[in-house]
Amino acid sequence: MAVNESVRLDLDSIVEAKFGKGKVPRFVLSWLKKFIHQDHLNGILDQGEYLGVDFLEKAIEYYDVHLTVEGRENLPEDGRRYTFVSNHPLGGVDAVSVLAVIGRKYDGNIIIPANDILMAVKPIAEYTIPVNKFGGQSSSLSEQINGAFASDRQVVIFPAGLCSRKIDGVVQDLPWKKTFITKSKANQRDIVPIWFSGRNSWRFYFLDKLRNLLKLKLNIAMLTLPDELYRSQHKSYTMVIGKPIPWQTFTSEKKDIEWAAWVREQVYKLKK
């Protein structure tokens, strides 16, 4: 059975539902479709009946991404629940790749808090918890996060919440949020650190800087992520998996936000 037509990206329908029929000029819609590479994105969604991990691996193949994974031996095989945390340099290929590797290892028994863009990828909907980056948060979000960490699924999370920015001239994550520390301790989950290589185009970081200078509410840099994903074709990336960090490490000696910063440091130390 092929992927249902309703799964495909249809910018016309999205814009009409959001703003009303005929409110956005046709030439604007045409430009937007080209900018986000709608036809190319739908090429992924047209990959037959691939779902879950199979779909993620097919997407990597579709983009001709060459992924080197180091430290596979650090992926636990003891049947326990873990929290897998990673830096987020790209906002697209990195998320797909990390989910594919962890998902394949644990037979798809994974879950990830996902933004609006990842939530739109219906073939992996079973893995996602909606974290809205463009609007208000769902009132049930906290309950869903708690449920994910209390479940028997492997939690995959990008603690920065957004993809990396250029900070002090270096492409790196924003400060990590403490949720993964707090919930991992509460549910006795060891934390597995992951470092992923790569960076977006100069345009992405320029728009992010411009947004901050102009104090714009709209995250204009994030709007370019579909194009950044398109540009990731035929490129090579490295994913390094570190040794699990016991949940008992995170004592009251530091605040959870400080422990989050410490784990972030351990992730960047994995960089070769």
Residue of 7, 4, 104, 98 whose CA lies nearest to 53: 104
- Give yes or no for residue 8 having a pLDDT over 80: no
DSSP secondary structure string for all residues of 155-179: EEE-TTSS--EEETTEEEPPPPPSH
The mean per-residue pLDDT over the stretch 249-262 comes to 98
The model's pLDDT over 18-74, given as tens digits with 9 standing for 90+, comes to 667 777 778 777 877 777 777 777 777 776 578 899 999 999 999 999 999 999 999
Longest CA–CA span in the chain (Å) reads: 59
Rounded to whole angstroms, what are the CA distances from 198 to 12, 120, 186, 247?
Answer: 32, 23, 33, 29
The mean per-residue pLDDT over the stretch 250-266 comes to 98
**pLDDT of the residue at 48:** 56
Residues 44 and 131 in one domain: no
Top pLDDT among 262 and 43 is at 262
User: What is the token pair recorded at 212?
Assistant: 């901050």
Residues 2 and 135 in one domain: no
**Helix ranges, the chain (H):** 11-19, 26-35, 38-45, 52-62, 93-105, 116-119, 141-150, 179-186, 202-214, 225-231, 256-268
Q: Looking at the 3D structure of the chain, how many domains does it have?
A: 2
Strand 154-157: give its sheet, edge to edge: 66-70, 236-241, 190-196, 82-86, 154-157, 110-114, 128-130
Residues 101 and 235 in one domain: yes
CB count in 10 Å sphere of residue 199: 16
**pLDDT of the residue at 145:** 92
DSSP 21: T
**pLDDT of the residue at 131:** 75
Residues 137 and 196 in one domain: yes
Top pLDDT among 37 and 266 is at 266
Residue of 52, 59, 195 whose CA lies nearest to 128: 52
Residue 238 confidence class, pLDDT cut points 50, 70, 90: very high
**pLDDT of the residue at 41:** 73
Cβ neighbors of 108 (< 8 A, separation 6 or more) are: 52, 53, 126, 127
Residues 87 and 7 in one domain: no
User: What is the token pair recorded at 259?
Assistant: 């422990």
**pLDDT of the residue at 171:** 96
The model's pLDDT over 97-156, given as tens digits with 9 standing for 90+, comes to 999 999 999 999 999 988 656 666 788 988 998 775 444 455 578 899 999 999 999 999
**pLDDT of the residue at 216:** 84
The model's pLDDT over 179-200, given as tens digits with 9 standing for 90+, comes to 999 999 999 999 999 999 999 9
Q: pTM for this structure?
A: 0.87
Residues 33 and 59 in one domain: no
b/e sequence 49-63, b meaning 16+ C-beta within 10 Å: ebbbbbbbbbbbeeb
Measured distance CA(84)–CA(110) in Å, rounded: 10
Residues 170 and 261 in one domain: yes
**67, 60 Cβ separation under 8 angstroms:** yes
**pLDDT of the residue at 30:** 80
Place of tokens 């604007």: 28
- Give yes or no for residue 235 having a pLDDT over 70: yes
Residues 108 and 170 in one domain: yes
CATH number for the domain spanning 240: value is 3.40.1130.10
* Residue 169, Cβ density class (10 Å: 0-12 exposed, 13-18 middle, ≥19 buried): exposed
3-state secondary structure of 75: coil
Residue 3 confidence class, pLDDT cut points 50, 70, 90: very low
Proportion of the chain above pLDDT 70, given as a percent: 89
Residues 27 and 65 in one domain: no
- Give yes or no for residue 1 having a pLDDT over 70: no
Measured distance CA(43)–CA(31) in Å, rounded: 19
Residues 151 and 262 in one domain: yes
Residue 164 confidence class, pLDDT cut points 50, 70, 90: very high
What's the domain range around 200?
53-268
Residues 137 and 228 in one domain: yes
Residues 117 and 40 in one domain: no
